[in-house]
Structure 1
Amino acid sequence: APAPAPAPAPASAEAADDVPVTMNGDRILELTLGPLQKPELADSIVELFKEIEGLGTIDPIDGGMPQDGLRRFRVTTPSSDADLLDLFGFHVAREEVQLRPWSGERVAPGYGFYPNAPGSPMTEEDPGFGFFDNAPGAPGASTQPPTEAAAPAVAAGAPKAAGKAEGKAPAATLEASSIRVSVEKVDQLINLMGELVITQAMLAQNSTHLDPVLYQSMVSGLTALDRNTRDLQEAVMSIRMIPMQTVFSRFPRMLRDLASKLGKQVELVTQGEATELDKSLVEKITDPLTHLVRNSCDHGIEMPEERRAKGKPEVGTITLAASHQGGSIVIEVRDDGKGLSREKLLKKARERGLHAPDSLSDGEVWALIFEPGFSTAEVVTDVSGRGVGMDVVKKNIASLGGTVEIDSAEGYGMRVAVRLPLTLAIMDGMSVGVGDEVYILPLSSVVESFQVGENVIKTVGGSGRVVEVREEYMPVLELEQLFHVPRSNDEHASEIMVVIEAEGGRIALLVDELIGQQQVVVKNLEANYRKVDDISGATIMGDGRVALILDVGSLVRRSRH
Structure 2
Amino acid sequence: MDITDFYDTFFEEAEELLADMERHLLEIDLEAPDAEQLNAIFRAAHSIKGGAGTFGFEVLQKTTHLFENLLDHTRRGELSLRRDIVDIFLETKDMLHDQLDAYRNDEEPDQEAFARICQTLQQLAREEIGQELETSGGLPTPPDAASSQTPAPAASSEASGSEQAPDAPPGEQVLVVALLNVGEKDRGLLVEELGQLGEIHDTHGDESCYEITLVTNVSRDDIEAVMCFIVEPEQLQIRAAAHQGASPPPASQPQTNKAHASSPLSPSSQSDKPKAKKPKAGGESSSIRVSVDKVDQIINLVGELIITQSMLDQTVSELEGVSHRGLLNGMSLLQRNARDLQEAVMSVRMVPMDYVFSRYPRLVRDLAGQLGKDVELVTEGESTELDKSLTERIIDPLTHLVRNSLDHGIETPEAREAAGKPRTGRLTLSAQHQGGNILIEVIDDGAGLDRDKLLAKARESGLSVFDSMSDDEVWQLIFAPGFSTAKEVSDVSGRGVGMDVVKRNIQGMGGHVEILSRKGKGTTTRIVLPLTLAILDGMSIKVGSEVFILPLSSVLESLQPSRDDLYAMAGDDVVLKVRDEYLPVVAVHAAFDVEGAKTELNETIAVIVQGEGRRYALLVDDLIGQQQVVVKNLETHYRKVPGVSAATILGDGSVALILDIAGLHRLSRVKKEAQRPQRTFNDFASTLHKEGEPS
TM-score by length of 2: 0.56
Match of 1:191 in 2: 300
Match of 1:103 in 2: none
Q: 1:330 to 1:555 in 2, by over 3 A?
A: farther
RMSD: 4.2
Shift of 1:206: 0.8
| d(CA) in 1 for partners of 2:43, 2:372 | 27
Q: 1:269 to 1:233 in 2, by over 3 A?
A: same
Match of 1:280 in 2: 389
For 1:414, which of 523, 538, 549 is the aligned residue? 523
Q: 1:378 to 1:83 in 2, by over 3 A?
A: closer
Q: 1:489 to 1:416 in 2, by over 3 A?
A: closer
Unaligned 5+ residue runs, structure 1? 1-27, 34-41, 60-73, 88-153
- Size of the aligned set, in residue pairs, is 443
Residue type matched to 1:314 in 2? R
| d(CA) in 2 for partners of 1:48, 1:419 | 39
Unaligned 5+ residue runs, structure 2? 1-31, 49-62, 88-262, 670-693
Residue type matched to 1:460 in 2? Y
Asked if 1:460 corresponds to 2:567, the answer is yes
Aligned residues of 1:467 and 1:475 also touching (Cα < 8 A): no
Q: For structure 1, which segment, 247-256 or 457-466, has the greater mean C-alpha deviation from structure 2 after superposition?
A: 457-466
Question: Superposition pairs for residues 50-129 of structure 1, below 5 Å?
Answer: 75=75, 79-80=79-80
For 1:424, which of 508, 519, 533 is the aligned residue? 533
Asked if 1:548 corresponds to 2:657, the answer is yes
Shift of 1:173: 8.1
Q: Secondary structure of 1:294's match?
A: helix
Q: 1:383 to 1:509 in 2, by over 3 A?
A: closer
Q: Secondary structure of 2:275's match?
A: helix
Residue type matched to 1:466 in 2? L
Aligned residues of 2:575 and 2:582 also touching (Cα < 8 A): no
Identity of aligned residues (%): 54
Residue type matched to 2:393 in 1? K
Residue type matched to 2:299 in 1? I
Aligned residues of 2:588 and 2:619 also touching (Cα < 8 A): yes
Match of 2:358 in 1: 249
Aligned residues of 1:57 and 1:77 also touching (Cα < 8 A): no
Q: 1:206 to 1:257 in 2, by over 3 A?
A: same
Q: Secondary structure of 1:536's match?
A: strand
Shift of 1:360: 3.4
| d(CA) in 2 for partners of 1:171, 1:254 | 38
Aligned residues of 2:45 and 2:68 also touching (Cα < 8 A): no
Aligned residues of 1:537 and 1:549 also touching (Cα < 8 A): yes
Asked if 1:164 corresponds to 2:168, the answer is no
Shift of 1:218: 0.3
**CA shift digits 1:159-186 (9 cap, x unpaired):** 7525637337659989701110001100
Q: For structure 1, which segment, 547-556 or 300-309, has the greater mean C-alpha deviation from structure 2 after superposition?
A: 547-556
Shift of 1:366: 2.4
Match of 2:408 in 1: 299
Q: Secondary structure of 1:393's match?
A: helix
Q: Secondary structure of 1:270's match?
A: strand
| d(CA) in 1 for partners of 2:40, 2:328 | 51
Q: 1:358 to 1:456 in 2, by over 3 A?
A: closer
**CA shift digits 1:325-371 (9 cap, x unpaired):** 23222211111111222333333333333334434333333222223
Question: Superposition pairs for residues 293-442 of structure 1, below 5 Å?
Answer: 293-385=402-494, 388-442=497-551
Q: 1:367 to 1:216 in 2, by over 3 A?
A: same
Residue type matched to 1:522 in 2? V
Asked if 1:480 corresponds to 2:589, the answer is yes
Shift of 1:416: 1.5
**Greater relative CO (CA pairs within 8 A, separation 6+):** 1
Q: Secondary structure of 1:178's match?
A: coil
Q: 1:363 to 1:57 in 2, by over 3 A?
A: farther
Match of 2:35 in 1: 31
**CA shift digits 1:436-479 (9 cap, x unpaired):** 101112234445556x48x566322455253668x987665432
Aligned residues of 1:201 and 1:541 also touching (Cα < 8 A): yes
Aligned residues of 1:55 and 1:77 also touching (Cα < 8 A): no
Q: For structure 1, which segment, 502-511 or 182-191, has the greater mean C-alpha deviation from structure 2 after superposition?
A: 502-511
Asked if 1:523 corresponds to 2:664, the answer is no
| d(CA) in 2 for partners of 1:185, 1:78 | 49
Aligned residues of 1:432 and 1:512 also touching (Cα < 8 A): yes
Q: 1:76 to 1:448 in 2, by over 3 A?
A: same
Shift of 1:254: 1.8
| d(CA) in 1 for partners of 2:626, 2:568 | 36
For 2:644, which of 535, 543, 546 is the aligned residue? 535
Q: Secondary structure of 1:516's match?
A: strand
Q: 1:491 to 1:264 in 2, by over 3 A?
A: closer
| d(CA) in 1 for partners of 2:339, 2:319 | 23
| d(CA) in 2 for partners of 1:490, 1:358 | 38
Q: Secondary structure of 2:628's match?
A: strand
Q: 1:350 to 1:57 in 2, by over 3 A?
A: farther
| d(CA) in 2 for partners of 1:273, 1:189 | 27
Q: Secondary structure of 1:209's match?
A: coil
Shift of 1:317: 0.4
Aligned residues of 1:300 and 1:339 also touching (Cα < 8 A): yes
Match of 2:11 in 1: none
Q: 1:179 to 1:84 in 2, by over 3 A?
A: farther
Shift of 1:29: 8.7
Match of 2:371 in 1: 262
Aligned residues of 1:493 and 1:512 also touching (Cα < 8 A): no
Residue type matched to 2:647 in 1? A
Q: 1:555 to 1:271 in 2, by over 3 A?
A: farther
Match of 2:178 in 1: none
Q: Secondary structure of 1:197's match?
A: helix
Residue type matched to 2:566 in 1? T
| d(CA) in 2 for partners of 1:524, 1:200 | 21
Aligned residues of 2:598 and 2:621 also touching (Cα < 8 A): no
Shift of 1:205: 1.0
Which of the pair is proportionally richer in strand? Answer: 1
| d(CA) in 1 for partners of 2:586, 2:350 | 36
Shift of 1:259: 1.5
| d(CA) in 1 for partners of 2:45, 2:518 | 36
Match of 1:214 in 2: 323
Q: 1:264 to 1:449 in 2, by over 3 A?
A: closer
Match of 1:233 in 2: 342
Match of 2:681 in 1: none
Q: Secondary structure of 1:382's match?
A: coil
